Structure 1
């Protein structure tokens, strides 16, 4: 009877838990669906999405272009949308082989099919000049067609004659653009071809640099002609789309993940927009950059995003971009189905849109355009419609502030940015804008503070350099006196340490103490800085009298110094953001390599007839960390004098310290085991490999224990279900 009651009670509890789980899962699914239904606008702080007020709202959806005689009123796989200076909309209705001309309200004015003798065939792109003349990338017919504003055939541009074309080259333009000087830019075969008004080839324009590859150079140098035929050619990153602003500057979207997927090209095809980096064209066998490079935390910048809404990795693929009259660049990305908007410096202003079936979301976006009022038009190849988005007051303020700053109206820009902050105090671009305004007004200290709010370390460093210059000029005499005092202090400190090291070695040499006291070992560790071989000899000769407490204290001091460094180093030179600092992780990053080195080194030296014991290796390894303490205690304090522009010198100090430590470790292995230099190198390599093996085994054990835990947990649940 009692068991029956407990059984019923257990069933009720289980049922309640089951209902709770179902409720939680339902809520989570509903939340995910709600996110998909109405995605927030946001900006990016690295990879973190920061919500911002709504920037664009759906104004209108055009699903039907209206009746047009025998022509269907529905779009079919439309490929391109263009708005000329008159405000007329031109659409390449690719699937229906036609061009549609509309008002910006969506009223169809005309439909063009091309010349009767050779009508359009799968047109990919369209461009219209100020008078309404149309230039159409007639992809299926392999030509560019010029039609008048009324649709009459004017001329066509076909594959130009040139000896530079390979025999396999085909002319199939997918996008077209006409410069103010009359040159024709067309995208086809993943490149931009430049032609003049006489159908003459003027070259491939804006090609991405593929850089120098030594392996490829050697293969091409020594391979036979037959072997060269099978060498895969490295092609530059493909061009996807092209657009021009009112000044005739050219913007392109590419698949270039090295320099940047979005580019602004000048008259000679050079990218002058914000870049990730550059490609090297030379071989430098004596590259010593590793001596000066240092790890500095900063905002990671990419065009678009590297992960979708579900956290899956993606490669941005911007199908199109448009530039408004203020110079703001809006680009639409196909994987996330979102519109990313940037200013003229490549700063992200907003992200909106998203994948979905509801209004305001996209399915397979193919093109984007912007009118004179700042409205954004999105063309969808799957939904076969046009969605028009209207800017909100918030993003209008942002655009206004950006424009005022670019025009040199800094006071007005400052006032507008403050209005933006009243709406959203976490909008980084507003803090950046105010910081730039302060900088132009020579209010450098206030500029530095705003750059901190914006988490912009490069901007902070730029303002700090000017602020430091003003301070130097104002207090030049005191600063010179301070520099002299610092030099004298460090000179005396080094002399003191040398004397301490010399006294320690003398004490060991003359007195040969029977017991290694704490003070003796601390003094001996200092001697490692100046006389490492002699210090290691005394450790080796005193192996039965070693005291491990000083070594433990040294490692604890290493951890303490690392924490001190994190919280005191100058803001632009920090290698980790304070708010992201994890003390436990920092301890593991410091101590784990030291401990695994001791274990691995002991194992290898024992196998190879080494003489050192585990305790000796632990002691001398801890002694080798003394340079870390010596340098990293004063360095973060002194770093407050450095800006990022002096990071080369600062990085050299840090890297030289690490090299110093490695040299001491190498000498300790050699001296403690009486190895030759060649054997010491081999032992060090094997020890590092053993360290990697130990980490791999530990990780494998961790994964297996986790899997075992999940298996046992599942087994217990199965048993519980059977019993209940």
Structure 2
């Protein structure tokens, strides 16, 4: 028995050791990564996800040896392939890798496994600081030869076919600087050159190198301050101003369908464009959160409060499914989006540890993808390529999303269900499941899922279908109720006429409470606003209690409007609305206007007292109660198809309140209509000055308190 135990013990030890060694292999690769992967929805909420890509190795560095012939000794020797400040990376149809080795004035060609094949230096016309590389379907090589201010076209063997210098065209200004740094070629052989600092867009050349046009330029941003300068500045002042130029394109790529993608560094929105042959951006208005984000921003960060500058995107790549990936040269982040610009993942790591951890890039210069779905990221400081391969979770998301993009919603449902099981907070899974439910006419479920995902358009469409079904089901009941109400209304009118014909009643109406009469004055004021406000001033038709009641109900109505409006028209309700700061802000602005209007009118022969301005300003808020609440209730049965109706009603409330304030100033202070508008503008200006003075006072008070506290600390220490 003892010998048997001795024989079994080594076997158990070997099995335990084998399990211990083998067990961490697959999970460790995803769980022990040097970076975290996130998703961010349209509301800016971060969701941590499983890793979409995991490190698969490093290409170049010290692991590649090349054979060099020593002609003098007649022998061959081994040497390390060392890059020097590489700037660009390209992967061809065979997954061969081409690197623009800028510092060594050459192009390095590797096979699909990252093994060295050759270097291209173009001995007949040497390269100088090449910064961009592109290989077409025929195997011809195009190089952005920055140092020589040209583009060269090489055959498959690397022999020079043609060199394209600065194009000659009257459309190019003499001051245009031609420094090619990147390029792509379409199926027609047209060349799109990215030049250093060229804000005009890509330089489009025909196959012979003739200038065609500038392609896909960015627009100049125009702010409110720019509008003010245009209104105030003279021509001479404008001439002394620095010209405001659009951002210069930093990099570009082209997909299999011929769409050209560009990335721009110096702008904070629309950094990525997907351009068709006419140069029109195909990402505008696309995306699941287009209603929440009318201005799109690409390039994600974990914590914007810690980011001193906006993401600086310097390169982009597109995979076979149309998903595009961008790299941020400042935050060292990698962000991936689908073909419509919807975010899929983003990840990155600390720059300080980038030189010692596989998978983190210290200075990402370029990015490319191969046919296996791997990402190759070129590190220009460490002079190697990080290879990232899809994880199981990433592959599952890509496959499900591709089916959804192709409209095969029912086929994508099992895949999205598995993604949702793995990560219940991953919003694209909810969107995919919602689209599948809508396709299967399960509108109640799709409405719920779209709401959970925060997608306004899908929610509205599902709600419209549910509303239609409900009306079809209850149409008979609704018509009967409408018919009964119509008959009752007609009978009531007939009965009222008969009662009026009998003469006046001998019973006198009892006197009403003054507050009730003051509240009833609101309805007279609606019909006769100027006379109504005049009566408040000279006939005491308002009081403190009635005015405060109206003000409280107006504040409550305003809060209800903010929190009770349907998700379709107010997507912020999806994440919750804090009513306290909103109502306090509204009340303070209203009170500030009351004070400033009284002060301004007192200086400009206004006849109203402070209490009259207070009463009138309270009564002017009545439309918020009268119409705001019904419109808010109505919003819960409307869809985006009725958006024009909802906007009109909201605009009507705003205009009515504005006119009531004008009539209030006119009636209370005995001004003309034009004078009332002028007084209101001056009141708003005074309000702005009061706000600025309060801000300065608070800032100085805080500084004084800090100074006294510091002085006290110094005295205590000494």
TM range (shorter): 0.7 to 0.9
Q: Which position in structure 2 is the counterpart of 1:16? A: none
Q: How does 1:129-278 map to 2 (within 5 A)?
A: 129-189=136-196, 190=198, 191-209=201-219, 235-255=245-265, 257=267, 260-274=270-284
Q: Which position in structure 2 is the counterpart of 1:27? A: none
**For residues 150 and 704 of structure 1, do their structure 2 counterparts lie closer, same or farther at Cα, with a shift above 3 Å needed?**
same
Q: How does 1:359-374 map to 2 (within 5 A)?
A: 359=357, 360-374=359-373
Give the secondary-structure state (helix, strand or coil) at the position aligned to 1:647: helix
Q: Which position in structure 2 is the counterpart of 1:376? A: 375
**For residues 406 and 662 of structure 1, do their structure 2 counterparts lie closer, same or farther at Cα, with a shift above 3 Å needed?**
closer
Residues 1:326 and 2:321 aligned together: yes
Q: How does 1:709-720 map to 2 (within 5 A)?
A: 709-720=705-716
* Residue correspondences, number: 645
Is the CA contact 1:600–1:691 (under 8 Å) kept in the aligned structure 2?
yes
**For residues 487 and 304 of structure 1, do their structure 2 counterparts lie closer, same or farther at Cα, with a shift above 3 Å needed?**
farther
**For residues 242 and 523 of structure 1, do their structure 2 counterparts lie closer, same or farther at Cα, with a shift above 3 Å needed?**
same
Distance 1:333 1:592 in 2: 43
Residues 1:52 and 2:62 aligned together: no
Is the CA contact 1:124–1:137 (under 8 Å) kept in the aligned structure 2?
yes
1:424-463: CA deviations, max 9, x gaps?
1000111111122223333333222111111122332233
Distance 2:54 2:489 in 1: 63
Task: Give 1:597 shift.
Answer: 1.6
Match of 1:539 among 529, 536, 541: 536
1:202-249: CA deviations, max 9, x gaps?
322223455999999x99xx999x999988766554222111222332
Task: Give 1:363 shift.
Answer: 2.5
Is the CA contact 1:340–1:351 (under 8 Å) kept in the aligned structure 2?
yes
**For residues 486 and 328 of structure 1, do their structure 2 counterparts lie closer, same or farther at Cα, with a shift above 3 Å needed?**
farther
Is the CA contact 1:258–1:276 (under 8 Å) kept in the aligned structure 2?
no
Is the CA contact 1:97–1:120 (under 8 Å) kept in the aligned structure 2?
yes
1:97-127: CA deviations, max 9, x gaps?
111111233221111111x232110101111
Task: Give 1:354 shift.
Answer: 3.4
Q: Which position in structure 1 is the counterpart of 2:76? A: none
Is the CA contact 1:78–1:384 (under 8 Å) kept in the aligned structure 2?
yes
Q: How does 1:51-70 map to 2 (within 5 A)?
A: 51-62=48-59, 63-64=61-62, 65-67=64-66, 69=68
**For residues 720 and 57 of structure 1, do their structure 2 counterparts lie closer, same or farther at Cα, with a shift above 3 Å needed?**
farther
Distance 2:89 2:126 in 1: 20
Task: Give 1:485 shift.
Answer: 9.4
Is the CA contact 1:451–1:460 (under 8 Å) kept in the aligned structure 2?
yes
Q: How does 1:646-657 map to 2 (within 5 A)?
A: 646-657=642-653
- More displaced stretch, 257-266 vs 389-398: 257-266
Give the secondary-structure state (helix, strand or coil) at the position aligned to 2:85: coil
Distance 1:424 1:460 in 2: 22
Residues 1:526 and 2:536 aligned together: no
Task: Give 1:410 shift.
Answer: 1.8
Residues 1:303 and 2:310 aligned together: no
Distance 2:249 2:431 in 1: 32
Task: Give 1:653 shift.
Answer: 1.0
1:610-666: CA deviations, max 9, x gaps?
221111111111111111100112111111222223222211211211111121111
Residues 1:88 and 2:96 aligned together: yes
Is the CA contact 2:317–2:326 (under 8 Å) kept in the aligned structure 1?
yes
Task: Give 1:84 shift.
Answer: 0.6
RMSD, aligned CA: 3.6
Q: Which position in structure 2 is the counterpart of 1:20? A: none
Is the CA contact 1:631–1:657 (under 8 Å) kept in the aligned structure 2?
yes
Q: Which position in structure 2 is the counterpart of 1:680? A: 676
Q: How does 1:273-422 map to 2 (within 5 A)?
A: 273-274=283-284, 301-305=296-300, 311-356=306-351, 357-358=353-354, 359=357, 360-422=359-421
Is the CA contact 2:567–2:574 (under 8 Å) kept in the aligned structure 1?
no
Give ranges in structure 2 of 5+ residues lacking alignment: 1-32, 70-78, 492-507
**For residues 121 and 202 of structure 1, do their structure 2 counterparts lie closer, same or farther at Cα, with a shift above 3 Å needed?**
same
Is the CA contact 2:268–2:310 (under 8 Å) kept in the aligned structure 1?
no
Task: Give 1:181 shift.
Answer: 2.3
Give the secondary-structure state (helix, strand or coil) at the position aligned to 1:565: helix
Q: Which position in structure 1 is the counterpart of 2:616? A: 620
Task: Give 1:680 shift.
Answer: 2.2
**For residues 230 and 599 of structure 1, do their structure 2 counterparts lie closer, same or farther at Cα, with a shift above 3 Å needed?**
closer
Give ranges in structure 1 of 5+ residues lacking alignment: 1-36, 278-295, 493-509
Is the CA contact 2:266–2:312 (under 8 Å) kept in the aligned structure 1?
no
Task: Give 1:348 shift.
Answer: 0.1
Q: Which position in structure 2 is the counterpart of 1:610? A: 606
Task: Give 1:708 shift.
Answer: 3.2
Is the CA contact 2:274–2:283 (under 8 Å) kept in the aligned structure 1?
yes
Q: Which position in structure 1 is the counterpart of 2:86? A: 78
Match of 2:698 among 675, 698, 702: 702
Distance 2:666 2:484 in 1: 40
**For residues 578 and 485 of structure 1, do their structure 2 counterparts lie closer, same or farther at Cα, with a shift above 3 Å needed?**
farther
Distance 1:83 1:168 in 2: 35
Is the CA contact 2:265–2:314 (under 8 Å) kept in the aligned structure 1?
no
Q: Which position in structure 2 is the counterpart of 1:572? A: 568
Is the CA contact 2:131–2:144 (under 8 Å) kept in the aligned structure 1?
yes
Distance 2:558 2:684 in 1: 23
